[in-house]
Amino acid sequence: MEAELHPLPGPLPTNVCSPLPGAARKLVCYFASWAKSRPGLASFLPRDLDPFLCTHLIFAFASMNNNRLVANSLQDKKFIYMEFNRLKERNRELKTLLSIGGWNFGTKRFTTMLSTSANREKFIDSAISLLRTHNFDGLDLFFLYPGLRGSPKNDRRTFLLLIEELWFAFQKEAQLTGRPKLLLSAAVSAKERIIRTAYNASLLGRLLDFINVLSYDFHGSWERFTGHNSPLFSVPGDSFSAAWGMRCWRNLGVPAEKLLMGFPTYGRTFNLLEASKNGLRAKARGAALSGKYTKENGFLAYYEICPFLRNATRHWVDNLRVPYAHKGHTWLGYDDVVSFRHKAMFIKGENLGGAMVWTLDLDDVKGTFCGTGPFPLISKLHSLLMQAEFSSTPSPKFGLSTSMNSMHSQTKSPGEKIMRLGKRAVAPEMMTTPPGNMTVTPDGQTKTLRGKPTTSEANADHLVGYAGLQTDAGSRRPSSGPII
């Protein structure tokens, strides 16, 4: 007879305090082990990372053999794990975790491991041993997804059993050794159908130290129409968005401070059917170009996006709070520092636990490609999230619904504060809208600006060159393609 969930011992303690209102607590960044195998200037090792950018680093991925957590390669085990965790010698506050799973890992080995208490015990014992041997501070479960992609429905229950047993085992090991309790996190979907099928959300919210919500890959070249990879807000007919995903988890009983919203440092491309029809929901046929370095169809790292944008036409979708660009038959939905700013404001306004980034190595690590310094996206996110406030104007409280709840553009007020990060002062960026015709959507109303330039808070460098602020995202349908 298979074991059932044990009664939980009341409110479970966590290793960290609750966030202050308006202040995000964590910036969790994944590092892909295969980054070292990319060619030339895109090959990165842990030594290339800035240990002060993120509060937690997660190494993706370990593997599983005979129900045991194991290193994915001998090189990882002998050299890379050591180099990764040496980053903590430079930043004593940094925490590191080891992740198991991922899309390509599939579900079969998870299902086998979860199927019996003996198999789960073997996995848990091996996890504690591997984590402690290589000086990791915790384990991240990247199971995509319990009850889907060939995983039986019962995996939803046994996955929760595993998490409960890991929690108790980590607690016991900490008491016996006197060492800090190992952290436990999971990467989860931001799509409501998957969330309701795969997870017991409220119990995950009690057992996990934090939850990494994969609020990206909402649309991609598996669809027949262009759509953005990671919109902040939803539009009627298409609920897929970061805000909608976070709302779903909160509505299912997960504390806001446990939820980390995902930020992609990459974009997704489409091959337009007609180059002249290049807006959102334009007809497309498969993936466009693959990146010179990442070499994945329909996918560009941020350091590959920067060269593409130099000769592309850029657009800003105001009701989704994200940009897209097109050049010839290639259509690209991506994030930049402006969209990161809007998402960071949302996190702070909703008092979420913070942000998760996939991945460090997809940003412009050394500042080679974009000309804006090392880690331009994650550095901006760090400066935004690690501040108590953005400016003298309080962070807005965003409404969450299937239709976008528009936010007024904010203008700089006299005496606006300079934000401080450590010893550095960071002034809020201001966006100047050029004179002429441009459509925007304040309060959901289309408006044409004429005459004098107007100024609102954003990043001027990255908004220069947008062809216009797009207001109509069209009537989009949820994806029938891969569920990521």
| Residue 122 DSSP class | H
22-36, 44-58, 139-153: least confidently modelled range:
22-36
**261 lies in which domain range?**
26-266+334-385
Residue 6's pLDDT is 52
Q: Is residue 38 part of a domain?
A: yes
Q: Is the pLDDT of residue 321 over 50?
A: yes
Which pLDDT band holds residue 465 (cuts at 50, 70, 90)? low
Q: With beta carbons less than 8 A apart as the criterion, state whether 226 and 279 touch.
A: yes
Q: In this structure, is residue 419 part of a structural domain?
A: no
Evaluate whether residue 289 is within a structural domain.
no
- The whole-number pLDDT of residue 291 equals 96
| Stretch 402-406: mean pLDDT | 31
Per-residue model confidence as pLDDT tens digits over 145-159: 999 999 999 999 999
CATH number at residue 348: 3.20.20.80
Average pLDDT of the segment spanning 113-140:
98
pLDDT at 62 over 60: yes
Question: What is the DSSP annotation of 123-155?
Answer: HHHHHHHHHHHTT--EEEEE-S-TTSTT--TTH
Q: How confident is the model at residue 37 (pLDDT cuts 50, 70, 90)?
A: very high
- 330 with 272: CB under 8 angstroms? yes
The reply to whether 358 falls in a domain is yes
Distance CA 259, CA 205 (A): 8
Burial of residue 50 (CB within 10 Å: 0-12, 13-18, 19+) is middle
Please, which residues have CB within 8 angstroms of residue 47's CB and are 6 or more apart in sequence?
83
Name the percent of the chain lying above pLDDT 90: 74
Does some domain include residue 303? no
**Number of continuous H segments (helices) and E segments (strands) in the chain:** 13, 21
pLDDT digits (tens, 9 = 90+) for 415-442: 322 222 233 333 333 332 233 322 223 2
Q: Is residue 201 part of a domain?
A: yes
Longest Cα–Cα distance in the chain: 75
* Residue 100 covered by a domain: yes
pLDDT at 86: 98
Domain count for the chain, please give it: 1
CA triple 222-186-51, angle to 5 deg: 95
Residue type for position 159? F
> Tokens 């402690």 — which residue?
132
Among residues 240, 233, 198, 236, the alpha carbon closest in space to that of 218 is found at: 240
Q: How far apart (Å, rounded) are the C-alpha atoms in residues 380 and 263? A: 12
* Residue 293, domain member (yes or no): no
- CA distance linking residue 105 with residue 67, whole number of Å: 14
